[in-house]
Amino acid sequence: MTARFTLYSRSWCHLCEDMLAALQRLAPPGQPFAVDVVDVDADPALVARFDELVPVLYGRLDEPELCHYFLDEAAVRSYLERSPRADQAAPV
């Protein structure tokens, strides 16, 4: 299983672009991860929830955010360490 992130963002936000670029640089060699970029401006409920907080980065959506405004490398690395990788066999 590939690690997955969700980045709540908006198109004109330079902090959002910076966070996405910094996140992509953290991908371990040979272990890519997926990033779903969600434009908060496309949904009024997301604007109400995140508006001035963007960018907001989540690993699992059922867990607290990893960071907002700026990438927290330690939080992302911790998330990656506890996320199952495709090359790890599932216990039988």
Domains for the chain: give ranges and CATH numbers: 4-82 (3.40.30.10)
For 42-71, how does the pLDDT look when each residue is reduced to its tens digit (9 = 90+)?
999 999 999 999 999 999 999 999 999 999
Confidence of residue 84 (pLDDT cuts 50, 70, 90): low
**What pLDDT shows up at residue 56?**
98
Span of 14-18, 29-33, 53-57 with lowest mean pLDDT: 29-33
Nearest Cα to Cα of residue 83 among 69, 63, 67? 63
